[in-house]
Structure 1
Amino acid sequence: MVTVRLVEMPAVQPVRSRPAPHVGVRSPGLDDTQWRRLSRGQMRVDARLDLHGYVVQEAFEEFHRFMQRSRVMGWRCVEIVTGLGSGARGGSIRRELPQWLHRADIAPMVLGVVHSHQGNQGALRFLLRKKR
Structure 2
Amino acid sequence: MSGRGKTGLSREEARLWKHVVRDARPLPGRARLKGSVAHPGQEDRDNQASETSSSDETAGKAKMPSSLPPRKVAPKRSQSTPELSHGMMAGIDRRSAERMRRGKMPIEARLDLHGLDQQKAHGELDGFLARAQAQGLRCVLVITGKGRFSDEGGVLRKQVPKWLNLSANRNRVLAFDYARPQHGGSGALYVLLRRQRETGERGS
- The bucket for the TM-score relative to the shorter chain is 0.7 to 0.9
With normalisation by structure 2, the TM-score equals 0.54
SS at match of 2:150: coil
Partner of 1:3: none
Q: CA deviation at 1:87?
A: 0.8
Q: Determine the structure 1 residue equivalent to 2:171.
A: 108
2:116 to 34, 44, 54: 54
Structure 1's unaligned 5+ residue stretches are: 1-15
C-alpha displacement at 1:59, in angstroms? Answer: 0.5
TM-score for the superposition, normalised by structure 1: 0.82
Match of 2:131 in 1: 69
The answer to whether 1:19 aligns with 2:82 is: yes
Instruction: Provide the secondary structure at the position in 1 that maps to 2:186.
Output: strand
Q: Which runs of 5+ in 2 are unaligned?
A: 1-78, 198-204
Greater strand share, 1 or 2?
1
Q: Which residue of 1 aligns with 2:107?
A: 45
Cα offset, 1:20, TM superposition: 3.1
TM superposition shift of 1:18:
2.5
**Are the structure 2 counterparts of residues 80 and 126 from structure 1 closer, same or farther at C-alpha, using a change threshold of 3 Å?**
same
Q: Larger RCO: Structure 1 or Structure 2 (Cα < 8 Å, ≥ 6 residues apart)?
A: 1
Q: Deviations over 1:31-71 (max 9, x none)?
A: 10110011110000000000111011110010011011111
Contact 1:77 1:128 in 2 (8 A): yes
In percent, how many aligned pairs have the same letter?
Answer: 38
Match of 1:127 in 2: 192
Distance 1:77 1:26 in 2: 14
Mapped contact 1:20–1:108 kept (Cα < 8 A): no
Q: Is the 8 A contact 1:19 1:107 kept in 2?
A: no
Q: Which has the higher helix share?
A: 2
